[in-house]
Amino acid sequence: MKITISLLVMSFFVLGAANAAAAEDGVKHRYVGWLEGDFLTVQEPEGAGQQGWIVIGNDGFAPAEFCPSTSEFICFFSRGFAFGVPRRINPAATDWTIREVKFELLKRGLAVSLLGRQLEDLMLIKAPPEATMVGRATGKSGFFLYSRSEGLVGFGLDPLPDGAAVTYWIQGQTGFGASERQAASLPPAP
């Protein structure tokens, strides 16, 4: 199992390593894991028609497609993993599908304290195994913590067969999908 995951991660690194210079621009959201040097960056495209990226460490680059600002979803899709949430969430909604990937809203109104900072009104969102590279290899689901004001603040996978947990937390004030403009201009759906 470890060999399969290692090979998948290695292919992820090789896939985009040649594109390192191209990934210098655009808004970056860095997430850190619990191992030293373990981080992942979601890099939004600089503008329409530009390339977005998912970067693991300093040299594992994979192209990512981001939902345009005119889409009803805030999302990105790459070989590594996918995330998506409606811009306006109906209070009765329990799931939504983007590009044939069904995301489930497991819980609303969660709060966590992260390095002394209280994050509230979080949603716990579950993604099926096919939404992540490691999930496709292990059959494990992905989980995301998201809020309209803070964006994507954390994500991880079900524990792997060896008991290891894969978890990342935002390093910075806000994560992917958060902006003062978005939070202020999009009231909750009825």
Q: Which residues are CB-neighbours of 143 under 8 A, at least 6 positions away?
A: 106, 124, 125, 126, 127, 155, 156, 157, 158
Q: What is the pLDDT of residue 179?
A: 67
Other CB atoms closer than 10 Å to residue 103's CB: what's the count? 23
Q: Two tokens at 9?
A: 């991660």
pLDDT in tens, the chain (190 residues): 444 444 334 343 333 333 444 445 678 999 998 776 788 889 998 877 788 988 888 778 889 999 998 899 999 998 888 999 999 888 899 999 999 999 999 999 999 988 788 889 999 999 999 988 878 888 889 999 999 999 999 998 777 677 777 788 998 889 999 964 443 333 444 4
Structure tokens at 188: 């909750």
Distance (Å, whole) CA 173 – CA 185: 20
The pLDDT of residue 160: 67
Domain ranges of the chain: 2-185
DSSP H or E run through 177: none
Q: Are 137 and 117 a contacting pair, CB within 8 Å?
A: no
Per DSSP, helices labelled H in the chain are 2-16, 133-138, 180-185
Say if residues 116 and 132 touch (Cβ distance below 8 Å): no
* This prediction's pTM: 0.78
